Amino acid sequence: MGMENMFGPVFRTKQPTRRTVEAGGAGDGGLAALGHGLTAGTRVASNLGWRAIDALAVGDKVLTFDHGMQEITEIRRAHVWLDAPETAEALWPVVVPEGVLGNREELVLLPDQGVMVESDAAQDIHGDPFAILTALSLEGYRGIHRRQPLQRIELIAVYFADEEVIYAEGGALIHCVQKLARLDRFIEAGATARYHVLGGEDAEKLVDHICMEDRILAATNGTQARAASYA
């Protein structure tokens, strides 16, 4: 079965780009050293079709944004929001409603989980239409919000030979970081990483511009609809 038939038209091949990485600071007591991963049951695009991330094993391949199918080299699991529902508000998960990032189902993400978005603003500001931001920095965009966790949840982090961006729940683009040991060696060597997770003022500025794009588009569509009604 071809890739297009298996996953539909939402995927495309693009040339590898060079982006650098910047670690975030938020985490949770259950997985403080990582701060990333997807909750059990979240489906990702793999060589086996759309599979729940907790059903994947080392050696399975996952479809990546820049490099096609890549083999999983390691999987780590942990339970997060161990104190739910008494979890401190600063550690509450970020909820991405259905459809907001191309996801067919609601996504529940750790605050520091990297998410790739596409926008004209990113192209104008950074020279690349694709940018990676933390889930937390997207709070308020198209209904993305924090939610009190009511129970502990299993989190699964998958790793590849290098950091990658993978597809989750149809079209959401999720950043998978390098393994910590490999990252330490990478930093010591002074090498340049592949992806950059925007943070702080850079992320805030980009999200403000993306929201402005949405407002302009909504106003334009509204004007066109009113004009059509008088035609």
CB 118 within 8 A of CB 134: no
**Gap between the Cα atoms of 38 and 117, Å rounded:** 17
For 173-194, write each residue's pLDDT tens digit: 999 998 765 555 545 555 566 8
Q: What is the pTM of this model?
A: 0.79
End-to-end Cα, the chain, rounded Å: 47
Rounded average pLDDT over 106-121: 95
Neighbours of 37 (CB within 10 A): 25
Least confident of 142-151, 162-171, 216-225: 216-225
Q: Are strands 38-39 and 114-118 parallel, antiparallel or unpaired?
A: unpaired
pLDDT at 14: 41
pLDDT band at 220, cuts 50/70/90? confident
- Ordered DSSP codes for 89-120: GGGPPEEE-TTTTS-SS-EEE-TT-EEEEE-H
Question: What backbone phi and psi angles, to 5 degrees, belong to 118?
Answer: -120, 130
